[in-house]
């Protein structure tokens, strides 16, 4: 049934305002630009954020530390087997080890938060979750407001879209996953900065230089002297694998600085479920406002 007249206009105007708000929200928050960058960040970190890979990173650091702890007393006892490159690395290693271990522990502690965000719908879709229903409602309600018509063709789609918006966060587990994502984003605030990534890149260069000194200068001298150095032999044997494992991690961190900043500038993940539920509930309530009988 369709009714005409001024009684239809308040409902239509209210629906049009909600629809306009939904349609404009992605534009106001820059989601059409930022959401794809978030999807790219999630994709770049996907192969690095597994439990096994993170344990591997921590194992690499432990292996390097074992070699340094083994070599430092030997070099102190026999200064002629040392080298300036190793001396620099040995001096810098405690800071590198502490910082990198803390970093890996922090990332590992937030792995479940990453998994929660990664299991949500593709970030590229989020702007359209608001824009498409918003435009549909705005056009229908705008027509109703101009013509003074009211009926199932307006209230039915508005109520259906409202229900869909309310149900979506529950269907994808957003109320549970969004807070985990917010916690992860907070933890990465000090990690995904240009300064921190540059520092880690410098650490990695120092580690590579130190390992080169170990392999080319110190280890051969230890072999000639018949001095056991199992931790260092193990590091030499595993170094190519360590390089192949850690280089992509540092590259992903560097590539994701801008992407992280783009996602961090969006409203908190904790609010995202309510960005669906609140307008959805309003649409349903407006749609069920009783129509006034035609005089």
pLDDT at res. 275: 95
pLDDT at res. 75: 86
Q: How many residues does the chain have?
A: 295
Residue 139 has pLDDT above 80, yes or no: yes
Residue 294 has pLDDT above 60, yes or no: no
pLDDT at res. 225: 85
Q: What is the 3-state secondary structure (H, E, C) of 270-285?
A: HHHHHHHHHHHHHHHH
pLDDT at res. 2: 52
Burial degree of 280 (CB within 10 A; 0-12, 13-18, 19+): buried
pLDDT at res. 4: 53
Average pLDDT over residues 263-267: 91
Average pLDDT over residues 79-89: 84
pLDDT at res. 151: 85
Strand pairing partners for 151? 2
Q: Are 151 and 1 contacting, i.e. CB atoms less than 8 angstroms apart?
A: yes
Return the structure tokens found at 188.
């990465």
pLDDT digits (tens, 9 = 90+) for 6-64: 456 889 999 999 999 999 999 999 999 999 999 999 999 898 899 999 999 999 999 99
pLDDT at res. 278: 97
Q: What ranges do the domains of the chain cover?
A: 2-287
Mean pLDDT of the chain, nearest integer: 90
pLDDT at res. 117: 92
Q: Is 122 in a helix, a strand, or coil?
A: coil
Integer angstrom CA distances of residue 157 from 15, 133, 138, 154, 228: 11, 9, 11, 6, 77
The Cα–Cα gap between 106 and 188 comes to 9
Residue 295 has pLDDT above 80, yes or no: no
The pTM assigned to this predicted structure is 0.81
pLDDT at res. 292: 63
Q: How confident is the model at residue 3 (pLDDT cuts 50, 70, 90)?
A: low
pLDDT digits (tens, 9 = 90+) for 166-217: 999 999 999 999 999 999 999 888 889 999 999 999 999 999 999 999 998 8
What is the chain's percent helix, strand, coil content, to nearest 5?
85, 0, 15
């Amino acid at each position: 049934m369709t009714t005409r007249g001024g009684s239809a206009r308040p409902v239509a105007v209210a629906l049009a305002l909600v629809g306009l708000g939904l349609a404009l929200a992605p534009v106001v928050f820059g989601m059409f630009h930022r959401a794809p960058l978030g999807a790219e960040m999630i994709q770049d970190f996907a192969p690095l954020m597994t439990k096994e890979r993170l344990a591997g990173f921590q194992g690499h650091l432990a292996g390097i530390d074992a070699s340094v702890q083994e070599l430092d007393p030997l070099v102190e006892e026999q200064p002629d087997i040392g080298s300036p490159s190793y001396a620099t690395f040995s001096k810098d290693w405690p800071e590198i080890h502490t910082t990198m271990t803390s970093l890996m522990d922090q990332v590992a502690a937030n792995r479940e938060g990453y998994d929660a965000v990664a299991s949500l719908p593709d970030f590229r879709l989020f702007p359209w979750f608001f824009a498409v229903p918003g435009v549909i409602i705005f056009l229908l309600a705008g027509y109703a407001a101009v013509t003074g018509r009211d009926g199932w063709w307006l209230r039915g789609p508005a109520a259906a879209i409202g229900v869909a918006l309310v149900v979506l966060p529950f269907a994808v587990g957003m109320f549970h996953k969004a807070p985990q994502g917010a916690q992860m984003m907070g933890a990465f605030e000090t990690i995904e900065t240009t300064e921190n990534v540059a520092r880690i890149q410098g650490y990695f260069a120092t580690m590579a230089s130190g390992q080169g000194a170990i392999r080319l200068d110190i280890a051969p001298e230890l072999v000639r002297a018949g001095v056991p150095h199992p931790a260092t032999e193990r590091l030499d044997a595993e170094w190519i694998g360590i390089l192949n494992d850690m280089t992509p991690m540092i590259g992903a961190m560097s590539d994701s600085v801008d992407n992280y900043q783009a996602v961090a500038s969006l409203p908190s993940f904790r609010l995202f479920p309510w960005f669906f539920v609140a307008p959805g509930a309003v649409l349903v309530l407006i749609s069920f406002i009783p129509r006034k009988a035609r005089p």
